[in-house]
Structures are given as C-alpha cells and as structure tokens.
C-alpha cells in the first residue's frame, strides 16, 4: 500500500501481554483505552474478527489521534 508520510499509525497490541484489566495506552498519543469501556469516548470500534464464536481481533481507532489499533489476544478467559 502507498502511504508515504500519511499519519500512518497501525500498531498491534496483544491483550494477553497486557497487565490487569486489559486497558492500555495508545502507542501514539498515550490516551488510556480500555476495551471494557463501552462509551466509545476514547476509542471507536472499526472492525471485529470472530473465530470459533470468540472475539479474536478488534480493530479500533483512538478517539484522540485516530490511530488505528489492532487488538489481539482475546482468547484467554478467566481461569479457563
Ligand atoms: Zn491515540
């Protein structure tokens, strides 16, 4: 794809590697984002990928800088 100097920000964050409640900071602007926050004030869901009836990927946009962040690592459940 051709994206020269266009504010391209597309990190992938593995939630399995994130501490505590799964919240994390936008790699670009540092906004705190929590997937459990359903108000969408801090982020917007762009796309979801489901496999085996489980959420496997979530693509969100940071509400502050628009950074498009892909979240993975949803497969772990509490004390599975
Ligand atoms: Zn951001």
CB 67 within 8 A of CB 9: yes
**35 vs 71, more confident:** 71
For ion ligand 1, residues whose CB falls within 5 Å: 26, 28-29, 31, 62, 64-65, 67
Ligand 1 mean position, distance from CA 32 (Å): 9
Rounded CA-CA distance 53/13 in Å is 21
Percent of the chain clearing pLDDT 70 (strictly above): 82
Structure pTM? Answer: 0.76
Ligand 1 mean position, distance from CA 80 (Å): 32
Ligand 1 mean position, distance from CA 79 (Å): 31
What's the whole-number average pLDDT of the chain?
Answer: 82
């Amino acid at each position: 794809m051709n994206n020269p100097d266009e504010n391209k920000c597309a990190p992938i964050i593995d939630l399995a590697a994130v501490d505590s409640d799964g919240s994390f900071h936008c790699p670009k602007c540092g906004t705190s984002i929590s997937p459990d926050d359903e108000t969408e004030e801090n982020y917007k869901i762009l796309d979801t990928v489901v496999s085996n009836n489980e959420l496997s990927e979530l693509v969100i946009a940071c509400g502050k800088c628009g950074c498009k962040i892909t979240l993975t690592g949803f497969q772990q459940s509490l004390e599975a």
